[in-house]
């Protein structure tokens, strides 16, 4: 039976990029649990998991557009060192947040620094990557009313946050 809305879904996964490098995994840690139907994971990934049987394993490959988007050159911009707070430690690869006009935090990464010019990149760090998830479905259960109202899964032993 497909997994419906408001279920707690527990999985193990290994995430690899196109070159086969492991970017993330649960194999040495706790399984990952999410609340279904609340956009907690990539929609295409959730769709693929929703038809799995408990105990099954599946390899799910997502194109960039189904994952974290295409890499967009226009999302790379030049800023001035003086645009940053004076005490900000500017370094290549470091992530900062910009505040959009509607008050949202938008992450960006510093790509390079040359004199007073800072090249910043608003692409998601995984933009442009074709991603493969090796997923094992461990368990599916009904979410508790508390979990549904919080919008996330709680650990088996109680409430941890």
Site residues (vs Zn ion, CB under 5 A): 150
Least distance to Zn ion from the beta carbon of 67, Å?
Answer: 27
- Return d(Cα 61, Cα 27) in angstroms, integer: 19
146's CB contacts (< 8 A; 6+ apart) are: 154, 159
User: Would the CA dihedral through 106, 111, 115, 117 be positive or negative?
Assistant: negative
- The CB-nearest residue to Zn ion is 150
Name the residue nearer to Zn ion (CB basis): 54 or 155. Answer: 155
- Return d(Cα 122, Cα 107) in angstroms, integer: 7
Name the residue nearer to Zn ion (CB basis): 67 or 153. Answer: 153
Least distance to Zn ion from the beta carbon of 158, Å?
Answer: 10
Name the residue nearer to Zn ion (CB basis): 2 or 158. Answer: 158
Least distance to Zn ion from the beta carbon of 154, Å?
Answer: 6
Least distance to Zn ion from the beta carbon of 155, Å?
Answer: 10
Name the residue nearer to Zn ion (CB basis): 44 or 150. Answer: 150
């Amino acid at each position: 039976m497909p997994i419906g809305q408001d279920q707690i879904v527990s999985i193990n996964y290994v995430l690899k990029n196109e070159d086969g490098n492991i970017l993330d995994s649960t194999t040495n840690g706790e399984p990952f649990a999410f609340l279904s139907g609340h956009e907690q994971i990539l929609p295409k990934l959730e769709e693929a998991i929703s038809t799995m049987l408990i105990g099954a394993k599946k390899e799910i490959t997502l194109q960039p557009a189904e994952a974290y988007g295409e890499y967009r050159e226009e999302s790379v911009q030049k800023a001035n060192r003086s645009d940053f707070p004076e005490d900000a430690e500017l370094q290549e690869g470091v992530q900062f947040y910009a505040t959009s006009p509607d008050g949202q935090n938008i992450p960006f990464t510093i790509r390079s620094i040359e004199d007073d010019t800072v090249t910043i990149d608003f692409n998601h760090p995984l933009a442009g990557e074709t991603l493969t998830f090796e997923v094992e479905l461990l368990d599916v259960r009904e979410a508790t009313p508390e979990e549904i109202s919080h919008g996330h899964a709680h650990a088996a032993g109680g409430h941890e946050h």
